[in-house]
Structure 1
């Protein structure tokens, strides 16, 4: 049986009762004039969503629960098929089945909570000579790992201290949850979320030390320095400190990462939104990243420097969102993203468009259907220029994405997603790359 037939068979097994559930659902989906929320790519974290949960009210409610009776259990099932035909005509293909199961207690004495999450990804299909999808361990091997074990200390109603192994989201250190399992980190962090109620300014503040990382397709934790590319004997972590301020339709922030003798990264971003009526909004955003070698230059054995700036404009109208963006990298070497999805505005499904000397334009259109609640589509195009390196070439990328997140009924929590990317490299042979991804997530409400 061919891989795609296996996938369709699994989909049929994972979706029992779909027709019946839809028949029992409300006959007419609710209409909305709200545009899609953003054009942020899967695996990325904007600065104004860093340092804590995105829903502040839910966070505060959670901190007031009693410990045992408010312990929650979260289970998610995933299946993911990825097939990539690369520039050199080699192929990476795998189909995996897995997911996660975890819990978090309430706060003992209204101060300390405990949590843990286990992850697994097992091979359903994956020829040994088609490795490299990052759905499985190298060698097309399945894995199971206890990715989170942590304590969460509530210093006050708005400030958390977290210690152990857990996931976190900031622009350059984040879960990058775009495969079967996310990045998680061995770390100590302090995060605060202040204000933001009744029109008051909102401050998000965070800092900490990240000692180790478990990569997306790994079952062990390694030094942050090793994961960045330093020799195995180098043991260095990453210190980080940042803040974001939001008032009304404006936000601005900055964050700094430093790994002794490895790399320093500074990132800043600002946004402003102009309401254009009850159902439309125009948003402008600017970003800047600066990366430099640090200390004894143990990452590359020599000094390096790189930077990238970018701008983005988004127009939301009812169910549609139109985006245009531009980025430009410079400084002498390519930008790096060793511990996360890359935050650049032109970083898309396959390419990051962050090579030294490379400029890139992005055009994107998205639509959330009113007639089918939870169904959305987007298409985008990125036109990249030649980087400075003579052995590298300009690239263009097209993406198509269709997603249906079941919002109600017996299958609430089920998400179906199809992603396709085509990349053309403007080398003398005009080589190209095709990337197809089929995803099914089932994330039922917490128990």
Structure 2
């Protein structure tokens, strides 16, 4: 899953390795390291309801309250610490009855709650070099925070980066071992442990480049006992004047299968090639995106641990959703528009996803519409986001899980 519409076309590229404290927060002792630390957080109230047309399935809903509480120390000789708790709890009187199968677990897990020490790490920063180890937020093409429900994904990871600011170059390398969040089915709640990112984790390496006009990146992932992947993209920005800007982007994802823990091929083999154009004109944003997916019969495409980086990914559907081994090659496109007025951003996006039939199979064709609005108060002190999603299976004569409408309302107070 991914955010409903990309108001910026650039896929998330950067590891979250920002230094916690500026020079004014530099500590001279262990005591000062903690006394000069900062507390931040978020209180989030969310509502989600799914209406399905599948035979025998029930509509579901839930209201939840939760958020984050984080403490960051000041830095001492480049070292700093961070810890954060994430939590979400369903409000029973305002949620569907779990006993009747009417509870929506997207916001709080099927258990109706979770509380997790989601971040706990040490950070070291020195003259362009940064290392962060432990539970942390990261945003890369195949592992990202994907904060679209109550709390973002976090990862147990050990990441080093070196940035040459004058050249616009960054080099990144590390290991991502485990993760938690909505896209991992809240594994920390159901199993008591975080979900694995490969049998022995995932190794990652990258080079990124940026200047005033061009942003480009190349990434390599070794998902142990599953697949190896190469991801590249390039984005160009043309500012015609203060009110008109055009962004053009292209991406490529190529994956090769490996033998899994049982010694059998993982069936992850394929590629995604995409392009996107976005135009910002006097407060309005127009975007068009296209992704082509190629897989061998019986194989699937892997879009990562999180929302994925494909340009046609929206709230529920992604470029690779249909390509689960039951269909062949395919393509998808999205057309989106947004307009900001009086501080309210109103948006809409239409997505069309198709896949060819494998031998003896059937084709797949699904459409999804996202419409909604966002409002930010007092420079981010509070915000609200509403989205309405309409999904339709165009190929199947019987109703399927793709024939599903959903509503989500999220309100945040940030401190």
Could you tell me which residue of structure 1 aligns to residue 22 of structure 2? 61
Secondary structure, counterpart of 2:315 in structure 1: coil
Could you tell me which residue of structure 1 aligns to residue 314 of structure 2? 348
Match of 2:237 among 270, 273, 281: 273
CA-CA distance at 1:443 after TM superposition: 0.8
Q: Report the Cα distance in structure 2 between the residues aligned to 1:64 and 1:279, rounded to whole angstroms.
A: 38
Q: Which moved more, 1:430-439 or 1:281-290?
A: 430-439
Provide closer, same or farther for how the CA distance between residues 358 and 131 of structure 1 changes in structure 2, counting only shifts above 3 A: farther
Secondary structure, counterpart of 1:276 in structure 2: strand
Could you tell me which residue of structure 2 aligns to residue 52 of structure 1? 16
Could you tell me which residue of structure 2 aligns to residue 185 of structure 1? 155
Provide closer, same or farther for how the CA distance between residues 294 and 286 of structure 1 changes in structure 2, counting only shifts above 3 A: same
Could you tell me which residue of structure 2 aligns to residue 121 of structure 1? 88
CA RMSD in angstroms, aligned pairs only: 2.6
Could you tell me which residue of structure 1 aligns to residue 248 of structure 2? 284
Provide closer, same or farther for how the CA distance between residues 223 and 379 of structure 1 changes in structure 2, counting only shifts above 3 A: closer
1:51–1:205 contact (8 Å) kept in structure 2? no
Could you tell me which residue of structure 1 aligns to residue 406 of structure 2? 435
2:258–2:266 contact (8 Å) kept in structure 1? no
1:358–1:388 contact (8 Å) kept in structure 2? no
Residues 35-434 of structure 1: matches in 2 within 5 Å?
39-40=5-6, 46-47=11-12, 49-52=13-16, 61=22, 65-66=26-27, 67-86=33-52, 88-89=54-55, 90=57, 91-108=59-76, 110-124=77-91, 125-128=95-98, 129-131=101-103, 133-138=105-110, 140-154=111-125, 156-195=126-165, 200-216=166-182, 217=186, 218-219=188-189, 220-225=192-197, 235-296=199-260, 298=262, 301-332=265-296, 333-354=299-320, 355=323, 356-369=328-341, 372-373=342-343, 375-389=344-358, 390-391=361-362, 393-407=364-378, 413-426=381-394, 427-429=396-398, 432-434=403-405
Could you tell me which residue of structure 1 aligns to residue 30 of structure 2? none
1:288–1:310 contact (8 Å) kept in structure 2? yes
CA-CA distance at 1:132 after TM superposition: 5.1
1:118–1:147 contact (8 Å) kept in structure 2? yes
Deviation track 1:365-416 (CA, whole Å, cap 9, x = no partner) reads: 11122xx23x1011111122234343452011111020111025xxx51111
Structure 1 or 2: more strand by fraction = 2
Q: Report the Cα distance in structure 1 between the residues aligned to 2:103 and 2:200, rounded to whole angstroms.
A: 29
Secondary structure, counterpart of 1:287 in structure 2: strand
2:47–2:409 contact (8 Å) kept in structure 1? yes
Question: What TM-score results when the alignment is normalised by the length of structure 1?
Answer: 0.79
Q: Structure 2: any 5+ residue segments left out of the alignment? A: 28-32
CA-CA distance at 1:126 after TM superposition: 3.7
Secondary structure, counterpart of 2:256 in structure 1: strand
2:20–2:73 contact (8 Å) kept in structure 1? no
Provide closer, same or farther for how the CA distance between residues 429 and 274 of structure 1 changes in structure 2, counting only shifts above 3 A: same
CA-CA distance at 1:191 after TM superposition: 2.2
Tell me the number of residue pairs that the alignment of Structure 1 and Structure 2 aligns. 381
1:185–1:214 contact (8 Å) kept in structure 2? yes
CA-CA distance at 1:260 after TM superposition: 2.2
Q: Report the Cα distance in structure 1 between the residues aligned to 2:47 and 2:387, rounded to whole angstroms.
A: 10
Secondary structure, counterpart of 1:326 in structure 2: strand
Q: Structure 1: any 5+ residue segments left out of the alignment? A: 1-37, 229-234
Q: Report the Cα distance in structure 2 between the residues aligned to 1:347 and 1:209, rounded to whole angstroms.
A: 25
Q: Report the Cα distance in structure 1 between the residues aligned to 2:221 and 2:263, rounded to whole angstroms.
A: 15
Secondary structure, counterpart of 1:357 in structure 2: strand
2:213–2:238 contact (8 Å) kept in structure 1? yes
1:327–1:360 contact (8 Å) kept in structure 2? yes
Q: Which moved more, 1:79-88 or 1:63-72?
A: 63-72
CA-CA distance at 1:340 after TM superposition: 1.2
Provide closer, same or farther for how the CA distance between residues 274 and 77 of structure 1 changes in structure 2, counting only shifts above 3 A: same
Deviation track 1:333-383 (CA, whole Å, cap 9, x = no partner) reads: 3322341112111110111132242211211111122xx23x101111112
Which structure 1 residue ranges, 4+ long, deviate > 6 Å from structure 2? none
Q: Report the Cα distance in structure 2 between the residues aligned to 1:343 and 1:399, rounded to whole angstroms.
A: 18
